Structure 1
Amino acid sequence: MKLLTTIFLLFLFSINSGFAQSYLLSNVNIVSLEDDQILRNQSIVIDKGKILKIIPASELIEFAGYQVIDGKGNYVYPGLAEFHSHLPVAQNGTMQLQEEAMWLYLANGVLRVRGMIGHPSHLILKEKVESGEMAGPRLFLSGPSFSGGSVSSADQAAQLVREEKAAGYDHLKLHPGLSMEEFMAISKTAKELDIPFGGHVSLDVGLEVSLENGYKSIEHIDGYLEAMVPDYSKVLEPSIAGPFSMLLVEEADQAKLPRLIEMTLENEVWIAPTLTLYDRFFGSKPAEEYRNIPEMKYMSAAQVESWINAKTPYEERGILTIENVQPHMEFRNQLFLSLHRAGVPMLMASDSPQVFNVPGFSIHNEIKLMSEAGMSNYEILKSGSVNPAAYFEQEDDWGMIKAGLSADFVMVEKNPLEDLNTLKYPILVVMKGKMYDRAELQRQLDKIEANHKR
């Protein structure tokens, strides 16, 4: 059957109304991520939000009744992840900031998000996204965090675990400041209720105990540097250690790293590296230089000011000099690469919206830093698709472009296995079969910019 031409009016009507149930995206090159090969000149048959079949573009006769959309030889891949986000909270009865975050993620090809500081309004947001009432990526939610400030005893910690599980959260987030007894109560109860947990490593607990007692993910590669410093009393003194112990890099005993990596692998712990958080928050570039970078136009002036105020004190205290920052960044990059090359699974994560990391846009900063650290394009793409699906044991539902899985993917102009920069410019985003073209994504970005006009 002769290849059908795109019927633009029907295509746009389907995108804007969102009710196209069955269609065929033809003439595309597929980066399925089942392996590192490209399926060239293919057609993806989509029915009720699922990938029904993938066939050569020339074999359309079986699906003659389907609407056909010409992919024009572009590339499709399963999309990206933000697996350490701080989703906005609904304020004054409005979900504006939450809805904006959803569009910022989609406009950057981010199709799955793990929230790591929870709030009851996030559960409402997730329900609206899952029902189709609001556009957005897949959401996986941690509840309010467990920390030295929110936990007062082991019994109370266990009760909080039970409450968050009952409320419907998918994950638990641990912040610093937990005692050993409190941590063990969280670990025991979480295992009993089968809810994953992870986050920062409390200094009184330490990395090794965290690895051995159920942490599913270590955020920010936290705890490794501290575990490598022979004199742990220095780690416990903030004026000596600096933020995230960055001033103790030169004292790290590299001979301890192989055992820590071995323990990470033995306990099947994942890493969410958030390289861009450290690059921007604890890097030597002055805070003021971030005020007017392009993506800041999607944030309120108050938000940007709060980020500047968060970084400035470290600058004023002389901590973020090149002499202090450079060894720390080099150490983190090497630690990241050592863990990755040993087989520790990585999760694409940038900690947005957090200091100078704007939702969606910050993931491209993270990708750039992962690449510069030595990770291959293929493994970077897996960290945003295959790995997040495996983390929540949902590989049979999403994470690749494959028959039977959800139709979640992004179309870009170039082959992302060769050019990561192409990921910044989605032509089409498909989320559970629903299509958002570049014009719609840009319209939403323009609306967000107008909301925060300086």
Structure 2
Amino acid sequence: MKIVKRLLKIVFAIIGLLVLLGIIILWIDSSETNYLEINKNESASNNSYLIKNVNIIPMNQDTVLANKMVYIKEGIIQRIADTIKVNGIQVFDAENKYLTPGLIDMHVHVWDRYELGLYLSNGVTAVRNLWGMPMHLRIKEDVKEDNIFSPSFFTTGPKLTGSEFIGDDNLNLSNPSEAKNKVISYKDRGYDFIKTYYGLDKAIFDAVIEQAKVSEIDIIAHPSQKVPFSYHLHPKIKSIEHAEEIVQQPLQFDLDIPKLQFVIDSISASKHTSYSPTLTVFNNIYQMMMNDDILDSEPLKYMNPLIIMDDSKRQFERWYNAKQEDPSTIERIKKQHDFHMTIVKKLHEAGVPIICGTDAGIGVTLPGISIHKELNFYKEAGLSNYEVLKTATVNASQAHTMMKQLGTIEEGKIANLILVDKNPLEELSSLQNPNFVFVKGRKLNRETLDSFNEKAKNRKNLIATALRYLENLIIEK
């Protein structure tokens, strides 16, 4: 017995040391992102001011409001006019540059706080995180309390899947009662949305929808193959994710335009469903197959190190092996990507609201910068610059009631804005590397935004990320 007691003491001591080590690692990682902290002593003066000499792209109409003034008070747009007089307030000269709503990425996977700076640097002032974990609730709280510079932050709970869709990234549901309890729990804990995923059968899907109605929480659907595609057109489901899911499920990989049109018509008839195509993440399959050195490329230095080591590597190896086994896979993927562009064109022509989403944070899809690639794909698909910009502004803000204060430059809206040199309605590329980004009215200049990029590059937080993921597994499983 004495030996057993001694062994137990040793075990508990080791566990205690490991816990302490984990706390220290997480504390160090947290301190490394303190550059995002808001100085509360300065914040009051930094989010109330007048902007003069600015050309406004309001995004509630296809126009430019030339040479205007904008009064922002405590992060809210109070007035837009030719001349505004407010005594005792800072005046910011926009020097005839162009002011647009901040961009919104409606499909991201956030792994650490460094990525919040990467989004801001690229003009993304709101994100919808679609793989919720406890750490995201902490980010959400810090954003709400104005503790950190961050895009406006919205998040689903964990992905809800069927019982046989195994993986530590999924919350496997086995019966309708369990499904209802999870929806209730996620709403109570502070998650904004429910995300449905693969493998949900009719009974469980019905239970999720029923409880979401009762709990008054929106659903975002990655289509389940266990129910007809039309099942995802329920009014409680506010957006469907991925153009590729149309190819895989209702079309069964048959790239047929008449069959596609039938699906598009059904989505359009629902009148309430937005679609997030996420063309970038699928196109990156093609990019991986075309570039054997992509994992060592300069852009990948901005990805989370745990994702590079695990998900990026696994995806690369999967498609590298696929092209080795069958070289025609490259052309097949390229052809499907081109068909996705047709899907976007058809959705737009049918009046389905397209909302910009990149699936950033997985594979080789970079946080922040990927939104510009996604927008360029929509332009290639035939949308005008104004229509392209709508997908990442007003369309996105209209997908959920809780986002309605974003997406346009109007009186009463939150001052999430970007200032760029040239008119993006003429040159879409001007949205890249904005001169200033405004988050709840607080101004971030290009120098500060560039420093966010440098802080995130080659970050050494693999273990800290793993610990936060372990926390998620312990709490959610």
Q: Within 1, Cα distance between the matches of 2:453 and 2:68? A: 31
- CA separation of 1:213 and 1:180: change in aligned 2, threshold 3 A: farther
The answer (yes or no) to whether the contact 1:297–1:453 under 8 Å persists in 2 is no
Of 253, 256, 260 in structure 2, the residue corresponding to residue 257 of structure 1 is: 260
Q: Secondary structure at the match of 1:256?
A: helix
* 2: CA distance, partners of 1:301 / 1:168: 28
Give the Cα–Cα distance (whole angstroms) in 1 for the partners of residues 342 and 190 of structure 2.
Answer: 38
Secondary structure class of the residue paired with 2:426: coil
Q: Within 1, Cα distance between the matches of 2:404 and 2:106?
A: 19
**C-alpha distance in 1 between matches for 2:40 and 2:428:** 26
Question: Match for residue 341 of structure 1?
Answer: 349
**For residues 308-323 of structure 1, what are the structure 2 equivalents within 5 Å?**
308-318=313-323, 321-323=329-331
* Alignment match, 1:93: none
Alignment partner, residue 18 of structure 2: none
What is residue 60 of structure 2 aligned with on the other side? 34
Distance 1:120 1:453, change over 3 A: closer
Paired residues for 1:278-289 under 5 Å: 278-282=282-286, 285-286=289-290, 288-289=292-293
Q: Distance in 1 between matches of 2:288 and 2:133?
A: 33
Question: How many Å separate the matches in 1 of 2:53 and 2:39?
Answer: 19
Tell me the residue number matched to 1:197.
219
Question: Does the Cα contact within 8 Å between 1:15 and 1:436 map onto a contact in 2?
Answer: no
Mapped to 2, the partners of 1:223 and 1:309 lie a distance apart of: 21
Structure 1 counterpart of 2:103 = 80
C-alpha deviations, 1:127-168, integer Å up to 9, x for none?
101111111011111001101241111221121111111112
Query: What is the one-letter code of the residue matched to 1:18?
Result: S
Q: Secondary structure at the match of 2:383?
A: coil
For 2:279, the equivalent position in structure 1 comes to 275
Alignment of 1:110 onto 2:155: no
TM-score, normalised on structure 1? Answer: 0.85
Q: Which 5+ residue runs of structure 1 have no aligned equivalent?
A: 1-12, 89-96, 230-234, 236-247
Aligned to 2:446: 438
How far the C-alpha of 1:323 sits from its partner, in A, is 2.5
SS at match of 2:160: coil
Supply the AA of the counterpart residue of 1:70. D
Q: Which residue of 2 aligns with 1:49?
A: 75
Distance 1:124 1:449 in 2: 23
Counterpart of 2:25 in structure 1 is none
- In 2, the alpha carbon distance for the partners of 1:301 and 1:37 equals 43
Aligned residues: 411
Distance of 2:39 and 2:205 partners within structure 1: 50
- Residues 206 and 223 of structure 1 are in contact (CA less than 8 Å); yes or no, is this contact kept in structure 2? no
Aligned 8 A contact 2:247 2:255 in 1: yes
Kindly indicate whether the alpha-carbon contact (under 8 Å) linking 2:307 and 2:363 is maintained by their aligned counterparts in 1: no
Specify the alignment match of 2:156 in structure 1: 142
State yes or no: 1:420 paired with 2:446: no
2:365 matched to 1:357?
Answer: yes
Distance 1:343 1:367 in 2: 18
CA–CA distance in structure 1, aligned partners of residues 275 and 94 of structure 2:
35
Runs of 4+ in 1 over 6 A off after TM superposition: 13-16
Over 3 Å counting, the alpha-carbon distance change for 1:184 and 1:282 in structure 2 is farther
CA offset digits 1:5-58 (Å, max 9, x no partner): xxxxxxxx99993331421111111111121110111111111111111122xx
**Residue pair 2:379, 2:388 contacting (<8 A) in 1 also:** yes
For 2:148, the aligned partner's letter is: M
Give percent identity, aligned residues only: 31
Cα deviation digits, residues 308-352 of structure 1 (max 9, x gap): 322322331336733312221121110111011110001111001
Q: Give the one of 108, 120, 131 matched to 2:145.
A: 131
Q: Please name the residue that 2:195 is paired with.
A: 173
1:396 and 1:151 map into 2 onto residues whose CA distance is 32
Post-superposition shift, 1:287? 5.3
Q: 1:83–1:115: 8 Å Cα contact kept in structure 2?
A: yes
TM-superposed deviation, 1:384: 1.0
In the TM superposition, residue 305 of structure 1 has moved relative to its aligned partner by: 3.8
Structure 1 range deviating more: 282-291 or 106-115:
282-291
CA contact (8 A) 1:117 1:144 kept: yes
User: 1:125 Cα deviation (Å)?
Assistant: 0.7
Q: CA deviation at 1:299?
A: 2.4
Superposed CA offset, 1:334-388 (max 9, x none):
0111011110001111001111111101111111111112121111111111112
Cα pair 2:286 2:330 within 8 Å, conserved: no
Contact 1:86 1:115 survives alignment (8 Å): yes
Partner Cα separation in structure 2 for residue 453 and residue 389 of structure 1:
33
The structural deviation recorded for 1:64 is 4.1
For 1:395 and 1:204, the matched residues in 2 are separated by 31
Contact 1:84 1:351 (C-alpha < 8 Å) held by counterparts = yes
- Cα distance in 2, alignment partners of residues 259 and 151 from structure 1: 32
User: Which residue is 2:185 aligned to?
Assistant: 163
- State the distance in 1 between where 2:345 and 2:63 align: 23
- Bigger drift between 412-421 and 144-153 goes to 144-153
The 1:421/1:213 distance shift into structure 2, 3 A limit, reads: closer
Tell me: CA distance 1:360–1:66, structure 2 relative to 1, closer, same or farther (3 Å).
Answer: same
Contact 1:283 1:325 in 2 (8 A): no
CA shift in 2, pair 1:301/1:156, >3 Å:
closer
